[in-house]
A and B are shown apart, each in its own frame.
Chain A
Amino acid sequence: MPEIPLLDLLPSGLQTLTLILLKIIAIVTPLLLCVAYLTYAERRVIGFMQVRMGPNRVGPIGLLQPIADAVKLAFKEIIIPAGANRFLFILAPIVSLATALSAWAVVPFGAGRVLADLNAGLLYILAMTSMGIYGVIIAGWASNSKYALLGAMRSAAQMVSYEIAMGFALVGVLMAAGSLNLGEIVNAQAGGFGHWFVWPLLPLFVVYFISGVAETNRAPFDVSEGESEIVAGFHVEYSGMSFSVFFMAEYANMILISVLSSVMFLGGWLSPFEGMASAETLASPLGSLLDSGFHWFVFKVALFLFFYLWFRATFPRYRYDQIMRLGWKVFIPVTLVWILVIGVAIAAGIGPWFD
């Protein structure tokens, strides 16, 4: 237990509670900061990809832009449309954000650095992210608007379809690691980048990340928003803070998918050069960067987030029937076949992953 001043003054039941609350704050605050600066990074990166500048006026090289946006959204009026269901209309963004944040409870940031070390951590994350659909559906229905309802319908069908492929990809990971605990999944990949699960599970890795892009309703799978077809989809009627809560949830989910991809396939906080550098190199200040640690975790997550932005700048939006075809007729068969391959590989003990 870390030393926190004044904690001993509380009764023992409250001590645990305070400690858990402090840990939650320590996870959620940097996460929301990351969400804010991910919007900035998105606009800058896509700006450079499209040969323009992006936001560069507020603060040095535009660094205060997310703060300015947040202040602007916080002071806007929240309009509740006539005929809308007030309670559900307010509830929808809360459900979105709550499910997006609660999944972070089991994410390991380093060896043993996790809020709740669940045995069924992977299942917990899958269950929590699958609840995120309700935010979208309730928003679409409670808005009393046909565009919002259409967006909610599209998004519900899409998320349910891709969840199956995603679940099968996770089955492959849990077969390879022999555990549903995220920390143990990372530890099963110890021993340099050759031991990472991305090599034996390469098709599942591709399926997982693309399904993740579809699950978060990001381009090129953003038919639930589809500006050119249904205005803005499920959140047309939302304004001000209630609108921005939806976006906080979407970006938090993007970061979550990136974190999970790096934890399950790229060895989380493990260094790719594990076991290659000598003890003297690791002891030197520059060489210690080669050791496993939080910086590798951040680097891998940033890589996946860059892929997200890159996809958005590169691909045109999928047509709806093509999305369904990709999910049901391509991804699910690929994952099913590869689960069989993994089973054979485990039975044969093919190294360095399954021996």
Chain B
Amino acid sequence: MVEQLVFYALSGILVFAGSMVVTVRNPIHAALFLVLAFFTTAGIWLLLDAEFLAMTLVLVYVGAVMVLFLFIIMMLDINLVVLREGFSRYLPVGILIAVLLGLEIVMVLGPSQFGLDIVPAPAHHGPAYSNIEELGGVLYTVYVYPFEIAAVILLVAIVAAIALSLSGRVKKRRGQRPEEQVVVNPRERVRLVKMAAERPDSETP
């Protein structure tokens, strides 16, 4: 009973936040609504006993990905007037695509595909049940090859992104070189010169 109330409250917020993401005008507000949507999704996953997935969703998407999103949006100079140019011209095409997408979503996710008779409710486990162990057990045995391949693809993506950002400016690298600073010898930098503090009297004019 309480669980259902929590579910409907979270789903209500989720649907509201999701629709606000696409309708609200300010891109920052849209990103913040997306954060709210992720957070409520995590709450719904908690109701399904998927605590590891819920925590990871908050940690990765809310804590890191969306922060970078906001970071980029704040840096961009977004001019809404320019963005809206040709809105009425492209409207028919846009409506067509939207209707197509909507139909596809209804066909795949419509009420005929769901229901307790088609997808039974997941069983609740006791407090001793650790879904991290379950997940790890499956991930590192049954799905070990897909998992490793996905990891390698991500690694390649990281290396590629760094290589792209470095291309053409590796040579004229500015900035600090701590390894050179550490091995600096004071004798190479400063030369102490000994000289008389004052000239002899005879030389003064």
Contact = CB atoms under 8 A, between A and B. Distances in A.
12 contacts: A120-B51, A126-B55, A127-B55, A130-B62, A130-B64, A131-B63, A133-B63, A134-B35, A141-B28, A163-B64, A321-B175, A321-B176
Given A130-B59, A131-B62, A156 B176 contact: no
Interface in B16-37: 28, 32, 35
**Per DSSP, are chain B's interface residues mostly helix, strand or loop, or mixed?**
helix
A203 to B, nearest CB: 18
Interface string B56-72: 10110011100110110
Among B56, B67, B75, the one with the most A-chain Cβ atoms within 10 Å of its Cβ is: B67
A120 B127 CA distance: 12
B52 interface: yes
Contacts of A223: none
Interface string B169-200: 00000011010000000000000000000000
Given A134-B35, A153-B75, 7 more contacts: A118-B51, A130-B59, A137-B71, A141-B70, A149-B74, A153-B74, A322-B176
A130 B52 contact: no
Interface of B: 28, 32, 35, 51-52, 55-56, 58-59, 62-64, 67-68, 70-71, 74-75, 127, 130-132, 175-176, 178
Interface of A: 88, 117-120, 123-124, 126-128, 130-131, 133-134, 137-138, 141, 149, 152-153, 156-157, 159-160, 163, 180, 321-322, 325
Contact of B132 (A117, A120, A160): A120
A177 to B, nearest CB: 13
Given A127-B58, A163-B64, A141 B176 contact: no
Contacts of A163: 63-64
Nearest to A136: B67
A131 B58 contact: yes
B71 A123 contact: no
B74 A127 contact: no
Contacts of A149: 74
A128 B55 CA distance: 9
A325 B35 CA distance: 29
Nearest to A321: B175
B71 A120 contact: no
A119 B53 CA distance: 13
Contacts of B35: 134
B67 A127 contact: no
A333 B62 CA distance: 25
A64 B130 CA distance: 47
A120 B64 contact: no
Contacts of B64: 130, 160, 163
Given A120-B51, A120-B132, A141-B28, A130 B58 contact: yes
A152 to B, nearest CB: 8
Given A119-B130, A130-B63, A157 B55 contact: no
A153 B176 contact: no
Contacts of A134: 35, 67
Contact of B67 (A123, A124, A133, A141): A133
Contacts of A131: 58, 62-63
A209 B74 CA distance: 30
Contacts of B67: 133-134, 137, 156, 159-160
A168 B196 CA distance: 61
B132 A119 contact: yes
A142 B184 CA distance: 46
A137 B28 CA distance: 11
A156 B55 CA distance: 20
Contacts of B130: 119
A123 B55 contact: yes
Nearest to A179: B130
Contacts of B132: 119-120, 180
Contacts of B74: 137, 141, 149, 152-153
B59 A123 contact: yes
A325 B176 contact: yes
